[in-house]
């Protein structure tokens, strides 16, 4: 398997040859500005946010279904191999690799638990360049999401008009991402009477201001 592209071939229990690939799925992860100050008070100045990381046995907006048995297995492995070893790191926005890039790490998952079919987690925002951008986006009320990143194959479920993640699935990490249908674009809540052009201008200007202020705060801009 190529860990950069995340592609290889595998077979399921029916003997079908399937292509193992990078699988990325998104869930909304909204944090209100007032929750940030409360969370930091509770965690000695560290920003720890909580929410749903992934959902089992439900067709998501990408048309994929994660069987709970598979997701439980991978969550257990992730807890043992990453959370317990304090290396459950993730990145900011949509990485296209099966390897976590340390230069873009923004957060670390502290713990996970199940609530029905929802896999929930507590995530610490780190004091890294990407972590500072992430915190500033939350401060500004920007709507972000949490995205699971993994390797595996899928099988068509024609009756359900969905695809099912197969037994070979491997969970890699969880990333904070922008809107799933707008690759690389961070979004925010908008007024219904705002024009489309104004919305586009405002959202990109706001994010650019946040990123520039952080990366250029020492007078030496790194962008």
Question: Residue-wise pLDDT tens for the chain (223 aa)?
Answer: 444 445 555 555 455 656 889 999 888 877 766 677 787 878 888 899 888 999 999 998 888 999 999 999 999 999 999 999 999 999 998 778 889 999 999 999 999 999 999 999 999 999 999 999 999 988 888 878 898 999 999 999 988 899 999 999 999 999 998 754 333 333 333 333 444 444 444 555 555 666 666 666 665 655 5
**60 C-beta neighbours (distance < 10 Å), count:** 16
Rounded to 5 degrees, φ, ψ at 216 are -115, 20
The pTM of the whole model exceeds 0.85 = no
Task: Please report the pLDDT score of residue 156 as a whole number.
Answer: 93
The CA distance from 59 to 65, in Å, is 5
The two beta strands, 144-152 and 154-157, are unpaired
- Reduced to 3 states (helix: H, G, I; strand: E, B; else coil), residue 69 is helix
């Amino acid at each position: 398997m190529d860990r950069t592209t995340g592609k290889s071939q595998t077979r399921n229990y029916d003997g079908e040859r399937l292509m193992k690939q990078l699988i990325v799925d998104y869930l909304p992860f909204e944090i209100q500005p007032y929750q940030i100050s409360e969370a930091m008070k509770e965690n000695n100045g560290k920003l720890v946010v909580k929410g749903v990381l992934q959902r089992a046995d439900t067709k998501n907006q990408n048309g994929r279904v994660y069987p709970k048995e598979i997701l439980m297995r991978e969550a257990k492995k992730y807890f043992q191999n990453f959370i317990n070893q304090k290396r459950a790191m993730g990145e900011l926005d949509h990485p296209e690799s099966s390897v976590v890039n340390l230069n873009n790490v923004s957060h670390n998952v502290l713990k996970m638990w199940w609530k029905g079919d929802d896999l929930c987690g507590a995530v610490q925002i780190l004091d890294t360049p990407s972590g500072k951008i992430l915190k500033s986006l939350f401060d500004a009320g920007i709507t972000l999401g949490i995205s699971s990143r993994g390797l595996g194959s899928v099988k068509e479920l024609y009756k359900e008009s969905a695809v099912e993640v197969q037994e070979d699935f491997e969970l890699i990490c969880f990333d904070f991402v922008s809107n799933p249908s707008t690759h690389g674009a961070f979004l925010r809540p908008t007024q219904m009477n705002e024009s489309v052009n104004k919305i586009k201008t405002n959202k990109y200007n706001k994010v650019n201001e946040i990123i520039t202020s952080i990366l250029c705060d020492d007078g030496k801009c790194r962008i």
